[in-house]
Homo-oligomer: A and B are copies of this chain.
């Protein structure tokens, strides 16, 4: 069986913003302490964009303010909940790769994080999730209603940020991405609990709901820098394939990592009956008896004690986890190769390190 560890989240990767405590309605406990032993491979990127990332965090805190106190309370809960700020960092890194020297990228990185956060809030409602990154979800603490509405607020705020940026190109990229994300979320609903979902349908879901925002974020780096279309497209391909690989490994980790390291509890997807690639492989490679097991547990959600362990056992027997990671490796390779047109530099190496991190974090 695969031995899976996760070196990424533990240390907390967001700069301290304690100086903002007095000026903000809520205290967002960003933690600047890094664990030197963890050596996450997104560290190099983090070091290169750290000043910009501090500005992104300031923008996030400033723009989630509202006289309606519940909004910053609830938004702060999820935004401060130890997220890696991976999408903003990728946007900042892509802009740096393109030689960008202005200030537009930080506001846009905040807009991207708001879209991501709005999606998470609605996702947790749709999935009835209780935990995210090891903390109670907003819907768990405040209920579904505020989660839906604060999600709407953050989504609107992200568009206000884009409008204040003033570029229709940027607005087109992010409004298109938002529509595709929503489409992917609905598609995921219609394939939920269906063990006969094809690998192609699964790929379409994760491309829409996860990879599209990665692609928009990295593409925007080239857009703000005013770089030629070929670089825009290269960075789009980089983000898209990285996003697919990221989600594939995430779906594998659900059957292999521990709650104490990832926040995400092992077996969340299983309990919710999500049909991810490991399930698709195990179902298709199984015999009739095994398929009956998947139908009972995933389609009918009739799960007993020990079923998760049995599911992991079947996946191991059929190489479902290892082969899912092989698929992920294919996409990390595509992401890696997408940066070939850029000359070697610190930031290019740092972005390639993120690719390595996405591949390495699961084994």
Contacts and interface: CB of A to CB of B under 8 A. Distances in A.
Contacts of A345: none
A183 B126 contact: no
A66 interface: yes
Contacts of A66: 183, 186
Interface stretch (A44-52, A168-176, A352-360): A168-176
A190 B149 contact: no
Contact of A187 (B68, B179, B182): B68
B146 A186 contact: yes
A184 to B, nearest CB: 8
Interface in A188-234: 189-190
Interface in A154-170: 155-157, 159-160, 162-163, 166, 168
Interface in A217-260: none
A152 interface: yes
B71 A146 contact: no
Contact of A176 (B119, B122, B160, B179): B160
A179 B156 contact: yes
Of A66, A152, A172, A183, most buried by chain B (CB within 10 Å of CB) is A152
Contacts of A146: 186, 189
Contact of A163 (B68, B148, B166, B168): B168
A119 B67 CA distance: 21
A66 B184 CA distance: 11
A172 B166 CA distance: 10
Given A145-B126, A176-B160, A150 B71 contact: no
A252 B304 CA distance: 52
Given A163-B168, A163-B172, A186 B150 contact: yes
Closest 6 CB pairs of A and B: A153-B182, A156-B178, A156-B179, A159-B175, A152-B182, A126-B145
Q: DSSP majority for the A interface? A: helix
A118 B150 CA distance: 14
Given A159-B171, A175-B160, A185 B149 contact: yes
A122 B66 CA distance: 20
A125 interface: yes
A135 interface: no
16 contacts: A66-B183, A70-B189, A71-B183, A118-B152, A122-B148, A125-B148, A126-B149, A146-B186, A149-B182, A153-B182, A155-B155, A156-B179, A156-B181, A160-B176, A160-B179, A163-B168
Contacts of A172: 160, 163
B189 A145 contact: yes
Contacts of A178: 152, 155-156, 159
B126 A153 contact: no
A213 to B, nearest CB: 12
Interface in A289-316: none
Given A68-B190, A119-B152, A150-B186, 18 more contacts: A68-B186, A70-B186, A71-B186, A118-B152, A125-B144, A125-B145, A126-B145, A146-B186, A149-B186, A150-B182, A152-B155, A152-B181, A153-B186, A155-B178, A160-B172, A163-B171, A163-B172, A168-B168
Nearest to A161: B175
Given A160-B176, A168-B166, A168-B168, A183 B148 contact: no
A122 B155 CA distance: 14
